[in-house]
Structure 1
Amino acid sequence: MKNGGICGMPTDTVYVLVAACNRPDAVVKAYKVKKQAEDRPMSMWISSIKQLEPVRHLLSPLLLDFMEAAWPSSISMVIPRGPWMDIFGLGDAAKHIGTPQSIAIRNPDCAVATHLINLVGPIAVTSANPTGEADTTHHNQVYAKLGKKVEGVLCDGPSPENIASTVVDCTKIETGQIGFFRVGLIPKSRVLEIFEEVRNRHRQEHTNHAFEHDLPPPDTPSEESSGVVDTAPTEEGTEDSTSFTTSPEQSSDEENEL
């Protein structure tokens, strides 16, 4: 894959056909081998949210927190495309991933897959079967369907599931809403439960942050002050500065519950 090859790869659902995003020639080759239908574009997969670190400042904080809470899993998120995609080295091949408005991105819950993505960086992904045919659920099927058109297949026997991922519409997540393009392995109720917990945490943090700004500065006496004022600024991390914010311990517990 580092040399521009494409290969079949196991996942937490069915087998897929993959190419390294930093090899645009490979992405184009995978697109052509698959004979991709225009209404079913390729997606982008990462091994962890750490691979988005270079573009973190360009993405929605709510979206990033939702990703951290929901992944790794069989949840694909459709997000707005933008300049952030340029950093992955796709070049002109970026047109084969997603639509002009959005792309699907996923962090699979599969150790074999994430290890490979760790080695080659973010990957362009499509299902390992010609468009219109059934999903591929064993490495032998990848050989049978794609044969010499691929440089190799990472073999892991039968797929753990024969159901595709759940595809969530996150293009308008900043409005506090998500939608569903396809309900697959992960139930809709579970996705909504995860999102609701993340959204509520954001609302609480926003409320607490606004409340902090409404407080009088620590070195300014209030009307009820006795007239003796300590003008030393409150240090970050003291009881005063954290009394209206969520503590690190609370945040950790909430994330574990997800």
Structure 2
Amino acid sequence: MALVIIDKFKDRVIKVVKKIPSGKFLTYKQVAKLAGKEKAFRVVGNLMMRNKDKNVLCHRVIKSDYTVGGYLGREDLDWLKAALLLKEGAIGVIPTDTIYGICTSAFNKKSVEKVYKLRKRNLKKPCIILISDIKELKLFGVKLKNWQKNILEKIWPAKISVILPCQSKKFSYLHRGTNTLAFRLPKDKFILKILKVSGPLIAPSANWEGYEPAKTIKEAKKYFNDKVFYLDRGKIASEASTLIDLTQKEIKIIRKGADYRKIKLLLRKTF
């Protein structure tokens, strides 16, 4: 009889998980409650850990504290779980190459707009976009001139964000009418792993506009609570990226930050 009850609960759990839409997630407790046994969240966790059914997208079920938790039975694959969620348009606070960012797919307009709302961000201010390869600029309709390409090949990968022209109306939700977008190709191997799965991500700092960037997940939760998922990598205290403008042949340094010395030396040699 006990096995029959467990099997019925398992079937209900699977049905609940299969109904989680792309770009959304539920916690183990929420799944257990919807399946009829709120206190059986550990059973849900075990079921997801052992899941081998490709039709059951277990990456959409996260820990009850809203950190992503392990994936495919491995705690060290939490980054992959986060990457899959981000690819689908979910919103999460993750470690970038500089500080914690509140991120989502740059190709998901609804999710991008939600990040603006959650972050209380100036609607006219574009977000920096993280990419894993310079070739991904073409996905945004960015056509590099030879001098721009030469500069980028010298400075990237680095903690240097670069403003480039983007005239495409298709991406007006990203450039916010400025007809420019800022991109960064990180050197950090961890965020690159995520980007190669998730695709390009918007990555403003994890805080409300005008407030201090979160250095820990605990601090980030004070801003975003249960509205996003979290990928915890302890305390991160770093400078924001250096920001330069390459829309004109005259290079403008908009913000001095991480890797500023590198850009200064390279640009001095180039010009």
1:20: which partner in 2?
105
Q: 2:255 matched to 1:182?
A: yes
Q: Distance in 2 between matches of 1:162 and 1:39?
A: 26
The secondary structure found in structure 2 opposite 1:113 is helix
Q: 2:251 matched to 1:166?
A: no
Closer/same/farther in 2, CA of residues 56 and 99 from structure 1, 3 Å limit: closer
Q: How does 1:64-75 map to 2 (within 5 A)?
A: 64-75=149-160
The secondary structure found in structure 2 opposite 1:127 is coil
Amino acid at match of 1:44: I
Q: 2:242 matched to 1:154?
A: no
Deviation at 1:141, TM superposition (A): 1.8
Identity across aligned pairs (percent)?
25
Q: RMSD over aligned Cα, in angstroms? A: 2.3
Greater C-alpha radius of gyration: 1
Q: Distance in 2 between matches of 1:190 and 1:44?
A: 21
Which 4+ stretches in 1 moved above 4 angstroms?
Answer: 53-57
CA contact (8 A) 2:94 2:100 kept: yes
Q: Number of residues paired by the alignment?
A: 186
Q: 2:209 matched to 1:136?
A: no
Which of 61, 86, 109 is the equivalent residue of 2:187?
Answer: 109
Closer/same/farther in 2, CA of residues 125 and 97 from structure 1, 3 Å limit: farther
Q: Distance in 2 between matches of 1:58 and 1:42?
A: 19
Closer/same/farther in 2, CA of residues 55 and 195 from structure 1, 3 Å limit: farther
Gaps of 5+ in 1: 201-258
Query: Normalising by structure 1, what TM-score?
Result: 0.65
Q: Distance in 1 between matches of 2:138 and 2:268?
A: 24
Closer/same/farther in 2, CA of residues 139 and 124 from structure 1, 3 Å limit: same
Deviation at 1:50, TM superposition (A): 3.0
Deviation at 1:108, TM superposition (A): 2.0
CA contact (8 A) 1:165 1:184 kept: yes
Q: Distance in 1 between matches of 2:254 and 2:177?
A: 14
CA contact (8 A) 2:131 2:200 kept: yes
Deviation at 1:22, TM superposition (A): 2.2
2:95: which partner in 1?
10
The secondary structure found in structure 2 opposite 1:104 is strand
Q: Distance in 1 between matches of 2:142 and 2:253?
A: 26
Deviation at 1:41, TM superposition (A): 2.6
Q: Distance in 2 between matches of 1:195 and 1:153?
A: 37
Closer/same/farther in 2, CA of residues 57 and 140 from structure 1, 3 Å limit: closer
